Amino acid sequence: MTTTMSSQFRVHVRSARLLEALTAGIKVRCQVVERDRHGRLVAKVFSPNGVDIGRRLVLAGWALAYRRYSTDYVDAENQARKAKRGISRGTFVNPWMWRASSPPRGTQAPGAAASGSRKLAT
């Protein structure tokens, strides 16, 4: 069965729900790692008892290791992929690759589908 990522997995919704569950009612601590090419802070987020929230999202399969800034979560991504958790249950285009091949928001390439959906095989 092939379906669109948004209708089958709703990655942004599931990722947000897990993030909410991991941080509900607690104060998190941000550890700045660096600034990106746009000057924005890149940080890791920890719970009060030291749980790395980003690593948990990646281990659950609802986030990916963004190797441009760090390889810290590559092992967690590999574990999620091996266990077929989250988005690893199907095929998908890495977000940074999709963004690089897609027109900027608010614009559309000539002849492109209006929905902009990507197919995900399940």
Spans of all domains in the chain: 10-85
Assessment of whether the complete model's pTM goes beyond 0.75: no
Instruction: Give the mean pLDDT of 69-77.
Output: 92
More confident residue, 1 or 73: 73
- Which pLDDT belongs to residue 66? 85
Alpha-helical segments (H) within the chain: 5-8, 11-23, 53-59, 74-83, 95-101
Consecutive H or E run containing 47: none
- Which pLDDT belongs to residue 107? 63
Residue 116 has pLDDT above 70, yes or no: no
Share of the chain above pLDDT 70, in %: 78
Instruction: Give the mean pLDDT of 58-86.
Output: 92
Instruction: Tell me the pLDDT tens digit for each residue of 22-58.
Output: 999 999 999 999 998 899 999 999 999 999 999 999 9
Residue whose pair of structure tokens reads 């614009």 in the numeric block = 107
Residue whose pair of structure tokens reads 């089958």 in the numeric block = 8
Instruction: Give the mean pLDDT of 3-14.
Output: 62
Topology of domain 10-85, CATH: OB fold (Dihydrolipoamide Acetyltransferase, E2P) (2.40.50)
d(C-alpha 33, C-alpha 13), whole Å: 26
Task: List, in sequence order, every residue forming a beta bridge with 46; answer none if it has no partner.
Answer: 29, 52
Instruction: Read off the tokens for 16.
Output: 């947000």
